[in-house]
Structure 1
Amino acid sequence: MPRRTLLEGAPRVSMQRLLDPRCSIVARLTLTLALIAVAVFAATGALLYWTLERELMRVEFDEVQNRIELVQRLLQESGEAGVDDEFRRKLDDVMAGHGNLLVWIHARDGRLLFASAPEPVGSFGSTGSSEAPSMFTLADGSTTAGCRVTIKEPGMAEGAKVTVALGVSMRGHVLGMYRNTVAWICALGFLATVVLAAVATRRGFRPVRRLAEQAARITPETLSLRLPPGGDDHELQALAASFNDALERLQQSHARLEAFNADVAHELRTPLAALISGIEVTLAMERPKAELAQLHATNLELLRRLGAIVGDMLFLARADVGEQAGDREQVSLAAEAGKVIEYYDGLLAEAGVSVALHGDAQVRCNRGLVRRAVSNLLSNALKYSSGTPPAPITVEIGQTEREVTLSVRNHGPTIARRDLPRLFDRFYRGEPSRSARDASHGLGLAIVRAIASMHGGSVDARSDDGITVVGFRLAK
C-alpha cells in the first residue's frame, strides 16, 4: 500500500484540558517557570534589600563618627571654659541642617553637661566595637542609632563621655518603600512570567500537538498514513520516526492477517466443499455399504486435514503473540535429528533417498518443538528432491559463540530469488508445478519459523544451481 503523510489535524485539544496542570505539560511548565521567576525575584530582592540596609547603616555610622570627632574637637578647643555658650553656639552650627542629629555630653563624674534631647534609655556601643551604630530608644519612644565615646586625650575634657545619635526614621521609610517596590516587582514579574511562559510553551509544543492531531486520524482503514518527519526538532524527528516504524510494523501485521484470513478461507473451502458434496450425494440415494465406507473414509481424511490446519493455525497464532518455548532442556541436535531421520526411514526408502547427518551442537530448547521443525524441513526436502536416482539429502549442524544452526540441503528445482523470502509465509507453495506435488496445506515452513522465533532464533533459505538449503538458527 502506498504511504501518505498526514497534513491536516484532528479537532484541537480543549483549552480547559490544556491548562489543567494534572494532565498538561504546558500548564506544568508554565507554573514551574512562574515559580522559578518568583524565587529568583524574591532572592534578588532580598539580597538587594540586605545590601541597601547595610549601606544605609554604614552611612549612618560614618555620619555618627564624623559628628563625634567634631564634638571632641570642640571640647578640646574649649579648654577650661568647658561647655559654655560659645561651645553651645559652635555645636549648634555643627548640628545645623541635621534635624535628626542628637548629642549628649557627660562629665567625668557623670554629670550631664549638654543634651539636645532627653537622655535615651539603654546602653550604647563604642566606636571600636561595631561597624554599625547601636540602636536605642529615646524617652519619647522614638528609635535612634548612635555611639558613645570617652575622651582620652589629656586636657580639661579628658574622661568626658560624648554620645551622638541619628534618628532612623528616614532609613525605615526608605527600606519600607523599597520593600513595597520589590513586592510589586515580584507580583508583576510573576504575572509577566506566567503569560510569557504560557505563550512560549504553547508555541514550543505546537509541533507536538500537531503530531498528536495527525496521529489521531490514523485508523485501521488508513494504516498507510505516516507522520511528517518533525521539521527541525530533533526530539520530534526521533518520535515521528519511532511512531512511523510502529505503524509500518502494524501495517505489515494487518496485511499478513488479511492475507492469512484469505488463505485460511481458501484452504478450508476446498475440503469443506468436498465434504458437503459427498454428504449430499450420499443422502440423494441409497448406497452400498462398501461405497458408504469408502465415502466415510474420504470424509474422515478431509476432516483430519481440517483438524491439522486448525491445529497449525492455533500454534502459529500463539507464536505471533510472542509465546516463548517452555520445558527447555539441554539436548544434542544431532541426536534429535537422528531420531527424526529414523522416523522417516520408510518414506526415504520408498523414495530411494538417503540422508547424511554432519556435525553436532548442544542447545537448550524444547525437544518436541525442535523435532517438529527438523521433521518439517526433512519433509520439505524429500518432496522436492529430484534426480535419477535422487541425490542424498544432507543435514548439517553447526554452532557459533552465540547460536547453533541446522540446515537441510537437497537437490531439486532452483527456487527463484524473488520467491526465497516467501518460503516461510503461511500457505505459500511457490510455483504451480511445485504446488501440485505438495499434498500438505502450506504451513510447514511457517511453523519452522515460528519455532525458531519461540527460541529467540531465525530462519534462512538459499537456492542456487539446483541445490536448495533451508534451515534455522537457535540462540544458545
Structure 2
Amino acid sequence: MRRLSLGSRLALLFAACTAAVSLSAGLLFNRASERHFIELDQQLLGNRLAQLRRQLAGVDSPETLATRLPLLRGELSHQADLALRISSAAGETWFESRHGLPAPSPQPGLATSHADGVDYRSLTVPLNARAARSAQLTLLLDITHHQHFLQGMQRLIWLTVGLSALATALLGAWAVRRGLRPLRQIGEVAASVNARSLTTRLPVAQMPEELAELASTINGMLQRLDDAFQRLSAFSADIAHELRTPLSNLLTHTQVTLTRPRSLEEYREALHGNLEELQWMAQLVNDMLYLAKADHGLLMPNRQPLDLAVEVDALLEYYAGLAEDAEVQLLREGEGLLEGDRPMLRRALSNLLDNALRFTPQGGMIKVTLEAGLRIVVANSGPAIDAVAVQRLFDRFYRADPARREGSSEHAGLGLAITRSIIQAHGGGIRVECEGGWTRFVIELPVS
C-alpha cells in the first residue's frame, strides 16, 4: 500500500481543519438562528395571548364561549398564520379555528409540533390564570417558513463545509508543494552528490528558518565528505608516490644484477641492498596499518603506571649519540606520573625527538618539559615553521622540508600522524606552537 506523501497529508489536514471550523461555525449560527426564531415566536404568541384573554374573559363553558365566537373568528381572520384551540380543564375540545391541527400537547408551555405538512409553534396556558380549573387556551403559530429557512441554512452549511474543505485541500496542496520546494531541492542535491560533485552546497540564505539548520548540517556533511575524499585521494597518490621510488630501485638493482653472471658475494651484496628497500617498504605498510587501526578506533592502550621522567630519560639516552654528532643539547625538566601504554607513548615521544633532531640547527637545544596536569612539551630551538606548514604538520606523508619530496628510506612523513593517533587513543591532544625562536609540540593528556 502506497504511503501518503507529506504534501497530501498536510493538504488533507488543512481540509479537515477547515471543515471542522466551518461546520462548528455553521452549527453555532444555525442554533443561534433557531433560538432567535423561538424567542420571536414566543414574544408574538405572548402578545396575542394577552389580547385573546381580554376577549375571552369570563368564558368557563361552551355556552359562554359560543357568545364570543363571532368576535373571535373575526379577530383570527386577520391573522392567517395563527390558529386557536380552546379546551376544557379535562381536555375536551371546545373550539378549533381550523382543521388538521396537531394533537394537544400534554404539557403546558411552548412546544413545536407538525401536522399535515405544516410546522407549528404552540403555546398552551390556562385561560384564567387565577382559576383552579380554568379552560385551556392553545395558540398555534405556523412556522413553516421558519423551518424552511433553517433547513435551507443547514443545506448551505453542508455545501459550504464541502466546498471549503475541497478548496482548502486544493489550495493547501498548492501551498504545501510550494513550501516544500526547499525540501525537494535538498533531495535533488543529495541525489546528485557523487565523487565529482562533492563541492555542491545548498543555498542556506534562501532556505526558510525551519530548514536553514538542516541545510547547514547537510552542507557541513558534504564539506566533511569532500575533505575526506580529498584526503583519501591525496593519500592514495602519496602511497603510490612513496612506493614508486623503492620499487623502481628494486627493479633497477635486480635487473642490473641479472645482466651477467656474478659471484656469490656480489649476489649477497645485491640481496642486502634489496633487503634495505624491502624493510623500508614493510615499515611503511606497517605504519599505514597502524594509522588505519587508529582511524577505526582499534588502538586500545594497555594502561599501566608510568614514570614519565624515567621514560623520557631513557629516550634521551638513546638519542644522545645522534645529538652529540649534531652538536645539539638534550635536556629534560620536571616530573610526571601517567597511566598509559609504554610502547605507544615511547613511540610518540621518539617520533617527536627524531623530528626535533632533524630540524634543530647545530649548537641548538631540545628540551622536554613535564608539567603538572599531564602536560608534555617537546621544544627545539631554531627557525619557526611556516604558518601554512603548521596546519599540515600532522597530515600523512607531509614533509615540512621541501627538499624531501621523493620516497626516502629514512622518513616517509608518517611520524607526526602516528604520534597524534597515539595521543588521541589516550584521550589527549597535541598542538604546535612557534614563538621566540622555539618550536613546541604540546601534548595534553587527561588526568586518570
TM-score of the two chains, using structure 2 as the length reference: 0.83
Q: 1:33 offset after TM fit, Å?
A: 1.3
1:134 aligned to 2:115?
no
Match of 1:439 in 2: 410
1:345 aligned to 2:317?
yes
Q: 1:408 aligns with which of 374, 378, 382?
A: 378
Secondary structure at 2:258 match in 1: helix
1:71 aligned to 2:52?
yes
Secondary structure at 1:97 match in 2: coil
Q: 1:434 offset after TM fit, Å?
A: 7.2
Match of 2:367 in 1: 393
1:423 aligned to 2:405?
no
Aligned partners of 1:346, 1:259: CA distance in 2, in Å?
35
**Would you say the 8 A contact 1:122–1:136 is kept in 2?**
no
Q: 1:443 offset after TM fit, Å?
A: 0.2
Stretch moving more, 142-151 or 195-204: 142-151
Aligned partners of 1:154, 1:417: CA distance in 2, in Å?
112
Match of 1:96 in 2: 78
**Would you say the 8 A contact 1:420–1:461 is kept in 2?**
yes
Match of 2:106 in 1: 124
**Would you say the 8 A contact 1:215–1:227 is kept in 2?**
no
Match of 2:172 in 1: 197
Aligned partners of 1:366, 1:164: CA distance in 2, in Å?
107
Unaligned runs of at least 5 residues, structure 1: 1-19, 128-132
Aligned partners of 1:415, 1:323: CA distance in 2, in Å?
30
Provide closer, same or farther for how the CA distance between residues 85 and 369 of structure 1 changes in structure 2, counting only shifts above 3 A: farther
Tell me the amino acid that sits aligned with residue 65 of structure 2: V
Provide closer, same or farther for how the CA distance between residues 55 and 318 of structure 1 changes in structure 2, counting only shifts above 3 A: farther
Q: 2:430 aligns with which of 434, 459, 468?
A: 459
Match of 1:4 in 2: none
Match of 1:306 in 2: 281
Provide closer, same or farther for how the CA distance between residues 107 and 427 of structure 1 changes in structure 2, counting only shifts above 3 A: closer
Secondary structure at 1:306 match in 2: helix
Secondary structure at 2:388 match in 1: coil
Q: 1:438 offset after TM fit, Å?
A: 8.5
Aligned partners of 2:120, 2:342: CA distance in 1, in Å?
98
1:53 aligned to 2:23?
no
Provide closer, same or farther for how the CA distance between residues 392 and 378 of structure 1 changes in structure 2, counting only shifts above 3 A: closer
Q: 1:208 offset after TM fit, Å?
A: 4.2
Provide closer, same or farther for how the CA distance between residues 74 and 372 of structure 1 changes in structure 2, counting only shifts above 3 A: farther
Q: 1:57 offset after TM fit, Å?
A: 2.5
1:228 aligned to 2:228?
no
Stretch moving more, 179-188 or 225-234: 225-234
Aligned residues: 440
Provide closer, same or farther for how the CA distance between residues 34 and 337 of structure 1 changes in structure 2, counting only shifts above 3 A: farther
Provide closer, same or farther for how the CA distance between residues 432 and 171 of structure 1 changes in structure 2, counting only shifts above 3 A: closer
* 1:398-444 superposed Cα distances (whole Å, 9 cap, x missing partner): 43xxxx53221123444233322222121222224678999222100
Q: 1:87 aligns with which of 40, 60, 69?
A: 69
Provide closer, same or farther for how the CA distance between residues 36 and 362 of structure 1 changes in structure 2, counting only shifts above 3 A: farther
Unaligned runs of at least 5 residues, structure 2: none
Match of 1:3 in 2: none
Aligned partners of 1:145, 1:177: CA distance in 2, in Å?
19
Secondary structure at 2:357 match in 1: helix
* 1:137-190 superposed Cα distances (whole Å, 9 cap, x missing partner): 65x6966442322244568x9722212233454343222211111111112112
Provide closer, same or farther for how the CA distance between residues 455 and 123 of structure 1 changes in structure 2, counting only shifts above 3 A: farther
What does residue range 244-283 of structure 1 map to in structure 2 within 5 Å? 244-283=219-258
Provide closer, same or farther for how the CA distance between residues 359 and 167 of structure 1 changes in structure 2, counting only shifts above 3 A: farther
1:471 aligned to 2:442?
yes
Percentage identity across paired residues of the two chains: 31
Q: 1:469 offset after TM fit, Å?
A: 1.0
Provide closer, same or farther for how the CA distance between residues 115 and 69 of structure 1 changes in structure 2, counting only shifts above 3 A: same
**Would you say the 8 A contact 2:331–2:367 is kept in 1?**
yes
Q: 1:110 offset after TM fit, Å?
A: 4.8
Match of 1:147 in 2: 123
RMSD: 3.5
Aligned partners of 2:67, 2:128: CA distance in 1, in Å?
24
Aligned partners of 2:4, 2:347: CA distance in 1, in Å?
52
